[in-house]
Amino acid sequence: MELDSLSTLIALTLGVGWASGINLYAAVLALGLAGTTGYADLPTGLEVVENPFVIAAAGAMYLVEFCADKIPGVDSGWDALHTFIRLPAGALLASGIVGDQGPVMEALAGLAGGGLAASTHAAKAGGRALINTSPEPFSNWAASITEDIGVFGGVWLMLNHPWVFVGCLVIFVLLLIWLLPKLWRAIRYLFKKIGALFGGAKPEPLQSDTSNQQAVPLNKLN
């Protein structure tokens, strides 16, 4: 499939950053399979994902994340670890796409890709930390499956309808700007958990707001 250069470059540059923050391995796997099967002619900077070893590694890690994402507590630990992986990967993939456009475009693409990866990663990690306050596991499964469908669907959209993807991404970013402040408590908890990995104090378990409310005596209501 021939790809329109301008629209697809824009969609892929922004899209790989967005997808990397949610599920890096799913994004690399989908792009790699699209390129190696001839479904899409990927830009030169993305040809590395067509390597069979890269596809195999991405597939194996996707299966690991597929399982880890559905276990309460394990998913937050996985997200904490991947703070150091998803963000730079999103920046590197985005900058590689426009690497032949000069160093200025490469730097701008890296900033955009890294920023989008950071935003989606923060939203995912904060949302998962809040979900883990619920004792049942089904919400984790639903969130994980929704994220995977979103990434695979997003890759398909950026390859086939790039401007539609860009429009959806703008709406997504606006919603994210509204949502992230509401997830700040969960995001702070995640950073404390990261600090605990390096010898810091272990954070208190994150509780929902309703669990922190104290009962009000009946005589106070009169």
Segment 11-18 shows an average pLDDT of: 96
- Sign of torsion over alpha carbons 184, 188, 189, 194: positive
Give pLDDT tens digits for 77-97: 898 889 899 999 999 999 999
In a domain, 112, yes or no: yes
Phi, psi at residue 126, to the nearest 5°?
Answer: -65, -40
In a domain, 220, yes or no: no
Match 């089904």 to its residue by tokens.
138
In a domain, 162, yes or no: yes
In terms of Cβ atoms closer than 10 Å to its own Cβ (0-12, 13-18, 19+), residue 31 is buried
pLDDT at 210 over 50: no
**Predicted pLDDT at 74:** 86
pLDDT at 116 over 60: yes
Find out whether 108 and 10 touch, Cβ atoms under 8 Å: no
Distance CA 44, CA 53 (A): 18
| Position 211 confidence tier, pLDDT thresholds 50, 70, 90 | very low
| Position 181 confidence tier, pLDDT thresholds 50, 70, 90 | confident
In a domain, 219, yes or no: no
In terms of Cβ atoms closer than 10 Å to its own Cβ (0-12, 13-18, 19+), residue 38 is exposed
In terms of Cβ atoms closer than 10 Å to its own Cβ (0-12, 13-18, 19+), residue 156 is middle
**Predicted pLDDT at 190:** 61
**Predicted pLDDT at 132:** 73
In a domain, 181, yes or no: yes
Query: Residue 10 belongs to what domain range?
Result: 5-205
In a domain, 102, yes or no: yes
In a domain, 139, yes or no: yes
**Predicted pLDDT at 137:** 72
Query: Residue 28 corresponds to which tokens in the numbers above?
Result: 């690399």
Task: Say how many domains are in the chain.
Answer: 1
Give pLDDT tens digits for 56-67: 999 999 999 999
In this prediction the pTM is 0.80
Higher pLDDT, 185 or 161: 161
**Predicted pLDDT at 199:** 63
| Position 182 confidence tier, pLDDT thresholds 50, 70, 90 | confident
pLDDT at 197 over 70: no
In a domain, 143, yes or no: yes
